[in-house]
DNA sequence: ATGACTCCCAGTGGGAGA
């Protein structure tokens, strides 16, 4: 079973690239972030024509998530139950017996901002809900754009970016709290090249210079850990014309 | 450098992303 996550930075712009990518990478499920489109405009037909089912939860201009899967996802949940939020950030569903949660974590803007306070509140709510989901669905995958670097290996310039957004101690503590529930960062279960990132700024030729961050992650529960065969970042779509600033991450479960 | 690039909704600029 293969699962993937991709922040597409507008599905309207990136739909052809998503369809091309799925044709070349026929994964069982793909979660998207930053679809930036309302549900009435979601390109459902094009995705179904490619042989996939889809559940989606969007809004105008910002955010928006989708869960694309070979078999229809069951028991779909949108956003974090009990957490009041006007942003569309989470979609969860059960695919082939595996609970799949796709999430677009808040950016946080800057450590002293209101948006950072919201990010911390959102992370608390996610943690509480993930605990409940794990007791109901032991075989669980949490993946998406976390907007958090796990440690300095995930940062192109850890000295220059120390304590800036995505690299703060508070964000990394929240990530560790998720791990402490019995989750595993699948990328680090394997030997990986140094300076491996999933996002590069559009400016200053950041991709060409490999000035990036690893902020897109795939976490699996204890029950799935032994089945993980690989976790790879697919840099190919970042080389497309009009690329997303993020590139897909793919996990293979045996 | 409170920049850079891209997307969106707007509308001949500005917010947000990371």
| Domain A2-253 bears CATH identifier 3.60.10.10 | yes
Query: Which of A168, A124, A126 shows the shortest CA–CA distance to A148?
Result: A168
- 10-residue mean pLDDT profile of chain A (254 residues): values are 98 97 98 97 97 97 97 98 96 98 96 94 98 98 98 96 96 98 98 97 95 98 98 97 97 96
Look at residues A224, A240, A108 and name the one whose alpha carbon lies nearest to residue A174: A108
pLDDT at A71: 98
Question: For residue A115, which nucleotide's C1' is closest to its Cα?
Answer: B16
> For residues A119 and A167, is the Cβ–Cβ distance under 8 A?
no
Taking the stretch 128-167 of protein chain A, residues with Cβ within 7 Å of any atom in nucleic acid chain B are: 145, 147, 165-166
- Residue A75's pLDDT is what? 98
C-alpha A174/C-alpha A18 separation (Å) is 30
Q: Which of A's residues 8-67 have CB atoms within 7 A of nucleic strand B?
A: 9-10, 12-13, 34, 36, 60-62
What count of Cα atoms within 13 Å lies in the side-chain half-sphere of residue A147?
23
Protein-covered nucleotides of chain B (CB closer than 7 Å) are 4-9, 16-18
pLDDT of residue A243: 96
According to the model, what pLDDT value does residue A151 have? Answer: 97
Quote the CA–CA distance of A129 and A124 in Å, as a whole number.
9
**Through-space separation of residue A135 CA and nucleotide B5 C1' in angstroms:** 43
Q: Where are the domains of chain A?
A: 2-253
């Amino acid at each position: 079973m293969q699962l993937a996550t991709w922040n597409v930075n507008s599905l309207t712009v990136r739909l052809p690239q998503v369809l091309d990518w799925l044709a070349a990478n026929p994964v069982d499920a793909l979660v998207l972030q930053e679809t930036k489109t309302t549900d009435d405009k979601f390109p459902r037909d094009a995705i179904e024509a490619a042989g996939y089912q889809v559940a989606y939860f969007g809004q105008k201009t910002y955010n928006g998530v989708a869960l694309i899967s070979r078999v229809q996802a069951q028991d779909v949940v949108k956003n974090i139950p009990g957490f009041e939020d006007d942003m569309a950030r989470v979609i969860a569903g059960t695919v082939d017996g595996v609970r799949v949660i796709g999430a677009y974590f808040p950016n946080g803007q800057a450590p002293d901002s209101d948006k950072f306070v919201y990010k911390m509140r959102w992370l608390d709510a996610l943690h509480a809900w993930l605990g409940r989901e794990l007791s109901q669905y032991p075989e669980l995958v949490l993946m998406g754009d976390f907007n958090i670097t796990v440690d300095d290996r995930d940062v192109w310039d850890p000295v220059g970016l120390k304590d800036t957004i995505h690299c703060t101690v508070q964000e990394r503590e929240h990530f560790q709290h998720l791990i402490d529930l019995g989750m595993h960062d699948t990328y680090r279960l394997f030997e990986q090249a140094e300076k491996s990132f999933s996002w590069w700024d559009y400016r200053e030729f950041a991709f060409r210079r490999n000035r990036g961050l690893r902020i897109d992650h795939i976490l699996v529960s204890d029950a799935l850990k032994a089945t993980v065969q690989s976790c790879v970042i697919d840099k190919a779509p970042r080389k497309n014309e009009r690329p997303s600033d993020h590139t897909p991450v793919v996990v293979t479960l045996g």
